[in-house]
Structure 1
């Protein structure tokens, strides 16, 4: 650690891989890795930005246009019973 960044501290992913392999993992290392991940700036999810939902007004306008395209439904004639 010369530049202020811990280069030799394992990340959480590396520690999890070690634990799954059956190697002993120090709780101090896990705590340090968790603290380092908490300090990292979180990146916003890009998928949420790409998938914008249409507004309600746009959906209503599209529905009105769709109804205008469809012919009106015919009413069923009521036959009188004798």
Structure 2
């Protein structure tokens, strides 16, 4: 048997826990994926908010056109009658 204190790297004698290293690597990968997912979801939410604003603007535009036509018809009926 060899003595541990005679020299060389301490990593030659230290046990390497491959399972623990694999778990830590997977945790780091999961953290990065979670951050990327969060970034994408925030971008999607911002896009949905912009789309919702445009949709409401279109709805109010259509309603205002319909009301303007109704008012125009009422004014024509009052003027012609």
More helix by share: 2
Rg larger for = 2
Taking structure 1 as the reference length, what is the TM-score of the superposition? 0.28
Q: Which is bigger in relative contact order (C-alpha 8 A, separation at least 6)?
A: 1
